[in-house]
Amino acid sequence: MFDLLKTDTKTKARRGRLTTAHGVIETPAFMPVGTQGSVKAVSPRELRELNAQIVLGNTYHLFVRPGIEVVRHFEGLHKFMNWDGPILTDSGGYQIFSLAKLRKITEEGASFQNHVDGTPAFISPEIAMEIQATLGSDIAMVLDECPPWPCERDYAAKSAEMAARWAKRCKNAPRLDGQLLFGIVQGATFDDLRREAAEAIVQIGFDGYAIGGVSVGEPEEEMLRAVQSSEPFLPNDKPRYAMGLGTPPQLLQMIARGMDMFDCVLPTRLARNGTAFTSTGTLNLKNAEFAMDKEPIEQNCECQACREFTRGYIRHLIKAEEILGLRLITLHNLHFYLELMRGARVAIESGDYDRFRKEFVSNYKTRDVDLTTT
């Protein structure tokens, strides 16, 4: 299932290959986020052209809308969205934490009013696995609770202990043939709780391991520490997934700390606000300085936006609220993230990852952009 092909000698960066029911994923890998069965503003055909290896869907959102009976009628999420590659489905724990109205977490599961129409709903570990089996994802995630930041130690400890019990119930629940199941390590910002949670989840035994409860508002140093506190206790022969991350430099720093898989909404979210990623940092194409700019978003980029259009034209589209503008920046941003991961894989293979990472991070500047913008 997972072959560890090479480990960097100066960092913990890993080059691997994960085999799933719908295809092989070369790691490190970035997963475009298709929360509701669609990567925003991008078609499955365009994702294939961008060389996306895997996309992410969300159990909570698809459970709420269109509803699991609809997806079952269309014989699973792959056919429903016309994507023939691998899909990972998040169990919905984070969305219950961040979106649901009047939620209540108990040992049995999560009761909540959904964010769309306030309808009461309930998801248990067993129901989460049933939904993901119906979705037909290649990789399912256990149901967990995502503690807030900041978080009291006692709450974080009890939450992590319950998450481990939920993880065991998920593993014991019926699963689709060939569907991989990843456990999730919680523990908030407490090093000892992260270690205990990692050891407990590994003892249960999963096909891969995710580090959750990061990128929930904590400073970057806390995010990195959560990964560093968990990673030493994860098995080398299984893939590691840092959930919900992050900026391009953060991804490279996480790879250096032994992480293999990532997802993040930033490439598509910031595109909708006119922000493009480049190798030297972000560009806010709404700015007047780009009005007469005949250059592409980034020189030597092979995405459609950079091959065919100028910064000045794309700025015009964004200012005029033309849909094509946000689509072009979205295509560019996804291409940028996916190419960054390809570059990381090449650098690990050649033994040059540490230089690759340091050079990229030193040249990268976040300019005139709010990373929390929706």
pLDDT at 367: 77
pLDDT at 39: 98
pLDDT at 372: 54
Residues 309 and 332 in one domain: yes
SS3 24: strand
pLDDT at 374: 38
Q: Which CATH number covers residue 146?
A: 3.20.20.105
Residues 300 and 229 in one domain: no
Mean pLDDT per 10-residue run, the chain (374 residues)?
97 98 98 97 98 96 96 98 98 82 90 90 95 98 91 94 97 97 96 97 98 88 94 98 95 98 97 97 97 98 98 98 98 98 98 98 84 49
* E strand intervals along the chain: 2-7, 14-20, 23-27, 29-31, 55-58, 87-90, 101-105, 110-113, 120-123, 139-141, 180-185, 208-211, 240-242, 261-263, 275-278, 281-284
SS3 283: strand
**Total domains in the fold of the chain:** 2
Residues 254 and 308 in one domain: no
Residues 108 and 179 in one domain: yes
Catalytic residues: 90, 263
SS3 282: strand
C-beta separation of 64 from 116 below 8 A: yes
pLDDT at 371: 62
pLDDT at 148: 84
Whole-prediction pTM: 0.96
Residues 244 and 99 in one domain: yes
Residues 107 and 234 in one domain: yes
pLDDT at 373: 42
pLDDT at 304: 97
Q: Among the three residues 264, 288, 315, which one is the final residue of a domain in this structure? A: 264
Domain of 105, in residue numbers: 2-264
